[in-house]
Amino acid sequence: MGHENRSETARIVEALVYNHVKRLNPRALVGIFSKERCRELERDDHHYNSKSFPRMLRFYHKMVPRKTTTIYQETVDPKRSSEKIPAIRARIRENQVKPTEQEVPEEPKRELPLKRKAIHPETAESKRCQKVQKKRMKIQEDQLKPVEQALEEPKRELFGHQKFCQLKNLKTATDLALFSHFSYKNQDDVLKELFSQEERERYRSLDESINVPTIKRMLLFAKIEKLMTQNRVYKPIWKCQLCKVSIKGTISQRLPHIGLHEDLPCYCFIEDCDKYAKTHTSLMKHLQNSHNLMVPDMNSHQYHCLREIKENYLLEARKYLDRYFPPESFVGLCDRKTMKNAQFEDPKCRKCSEIVKAVTSRRDHISRHISAFFECAIAGCNFMASTSTISHHLKVGGLLVVLCFDGYRELTRKI
């Protein structure tokens, strides 16, 4: 981003902090901003409300885990997940080793199901109350679990803010982000005005164990997501923080670049081959050039190994995504539209409100509204055809139209 965008982001961060601190403790504003700056921020304070800052945190909590821990549907296969792979392999071995007739064990006799005992209504009601109470206790434990884990684990996360996003209490997350913002600037006087001694000790221990994102980062993340949602037909441009290389495209184009900086080897699965590649795309080139093995020519075992290597690489590369491509590395949007941008258009018809998702079906739908039909080329046939009913022209009375009508191919090309 340019210098103007960065100064605009810093101005919005100050406005959000001013708006939130003014509602917590107005006396602390004097220690944060000068009197002239307070007057300027008060003049523009009507653009923000009490929910502006928490809403930004809630959006960050919602979107970051989805961005960093999931992979695209085209690369996900629940049958080949890491948890199910050992069980699937064991099942395959059992099916491959067929027992002989002598080794076939006898089927055990089925036992009749036991009759249910009659349960008194009072005992059933007490058990139901116990289940509800256990469920409530479990919900309370789940809410406190991320905070307890953060206090027990003194080590900081290397990259990412998963622990911060696991804080389900929005007030705790808001206060922690505000505490981290002022502690980074060494404004202890402001912290004493905003938080009590007990709260300061608690948030300081959380700040040491949790990688708390800055307010500027959360604001940039929200702006980028909103910008990319409104302009989906344009590809975003990111700049690597280490090598300063600009990469155009979605996250699928950024993940292969991470393997050039981190040790994420993709080993070749061919026997007697000790080669390894830095990315899964380089591994596919190695298989093609060295072993003359293309993806369509692979057997089931080889294809499974390739998919497993690719999924593991994508999961590992996502852990370092925030290191090389944080929100601050966003440059802008490309000035050229992506191909097949019709999929980003609104599928709802403006005239009849019918939803037509398929791109090819929209042409036929529009032709019905504007009555764009043409007569059948065969003499004596009064059928009014459209692009979707072109199959009617393929056979009339047992004769192919190509044999009866010489200009059939030219007509279909014009359509």
Using a cut of 0.95, tell me whether the model's pTM lies above it: no
In a domain, 117, yes or no: no
The whole-number pLDDT of residue 76 equals: 43
Question: Do 182 and 9 touch, CB atoms closer than 8 A?
Answer: no
Last residue of a domain, one of 293, 318, 338: 338
- Same domain assignment for residues 238 and 320: yes
The number of folded domains in the chain is 3
- Same domain assignment for residues 334 and 256: yes
- Same domain assignment for residues 192 and 266: no
- Same domain assignment for residues 323 and 180: no
The whole-number pLDDT of residue 408 equals: 52
**What distance in Å separates the CA atoms of residue 20 and residue 93, rounded to the nearest whole number?**
62
In a domain, 228, yes or no: no
Last residue of a domain, one of 294, 312, 338: 338
Domain residue limits at 45: 8-63+157-218
- Same domain assignment for residues 162 and 194: yes
- Same domain assignment for residues 164 and 56: yes
Residues of the chain scoring pLDDT < 70: 1-6, 64-129, 131-160, 162, 337-345, 360, 376-380, 383, 385-415
The whole-number pLDDT of residue 142 equals: 54
pLDDT tens for each residue of 392-406? 555 554 445 454 555
- Same domain assignment for residues 347 and 333: no
The whole-number pLDDT of residue 249 equals: 82
The whole-number pLDDT of residue 53 equals: 83
- Same domain assignment for residues 57 and 163: yes
- Same domain assignment for residues 407 and 264: no
Last residue of a domain, one of 167, 195, 218: 218
In a domain, 139, yes or no: no
In a domain, 223, yes or no: no
In a domain, 358, yes or no: yes
pLDDT tens for each residue of 48-58? 887 888 888 88
- Same domain assignment for residues 167 and 24: yes
The whole-number pLDDT of residue 73 equals: 41
**What distance in Å separates the CA atoms of residue 249 and residue 235, rounded to the nearest whole number?**
5
In a domain, 315, yes or no: yes
The whole-number pLDDT of residue 79 equals: 44
